[in-house]
Chain A
């Protein structure tokens, strides 16, 4: 399945991109997605505790199972207002 990743703020600057497509095994969880990203980019590992995730614009926990076509946003600590 293919998911559409979106990156913001500090993560966007670190990865030097706003968005990416990712192919994952069917039924992969957010945790598995994050682990795969960290394997490719070990510099993401220290951010693990502070990144949260949204799928199709709703916050989810890392056990959430992804579906084909999902938009997954990687959300660094927010600081609006």
Chain B
């Protein structure tokens, strides 16, 4: 399951999407909107995507994770539009026979998503708004 959605993400559905009889572990990461950032009081985040490419990059992350770790399935769902405090902007679920690779692959997936997937967040805070972004320069390497 790789999807970009505009409605609240049902994290249980994303976890269920990777369930597999050969898997003894499902690790699910949920990224939620935090009420503070860099000394600012955040009121909400708004996400924008280049959807066709974001989905392709999300799938590539799933493929890379499966090549690097003995895992079964990967699911990545990202929400766009306004994401209020405490709500999920992204859910990543990974299933594997054993928990160590599931944790490692899930950690990789969110780190890599933040590096390469063409999605942007605009932070709304007390006093203004700002597009968040910092180049890590890791885009062309694995």
B-side interface residues, number (CB < 8 Å): 30
Asked whether A78 lies within 8 Å of B118 as measured between CB atoms, the reply is yes
In the complex with contacts A57-B53, A80-B78, A81-B90, A75-B118 CB distance below 8 A = yes
Residues on the B chain within 8 Å of A81, using CB? 31, 78, 89-90, 110, 113-114, 117, 119
Give the distance in Å from the alpha carbon of A26 to the alpha carbon of B89 in the complex: 41
Q: Mark A39-81, 1 if CB is under 8 A from B, else 0.
A: 0000000000110101001110100000000000101111111
Question: Is A6 a contact partner of B90 (Cβ separation < 8 A)?
Answer: no
CB neighbours (8 Å) of A54 from chain B are: 50, 53, 118
**B78 and A78 form a contact (CB under 8 A):** no
Chain A-chain B contacts (Cβ-Cβ < 8 Å), number: 81
A34 is an interface residue with CB less than 8 A from chain B: no
A8 close to B114 (CB less than 8 A): no
Contacts of A9 in B (CB 8 A): 48, 120, 122, 131, 133
Chain B residue contacts of A50, Cβ below 8 A: 133, 135
User: In the complex, which range does the number of interface residues on chain A fall in?
Assistant: 20 to 34
CA–CA, A10 to B90, complex, Å?
A: 21
Give B contacts to A, CB under 8 Å. 31, 47-50, 52-54, 56, 78, 89-90, 110, 113-122, 131-135, 139-140
Please list the 10 inter-chain residue pairs (A to B) with the smallest Cβ-Cβ separation, ordered nearest first: A77-B133, A80-B119, A9-B120, A57-B53, A79-B132, A10-B131, A79-B121, A81-B114, A80-B117, A81-B90
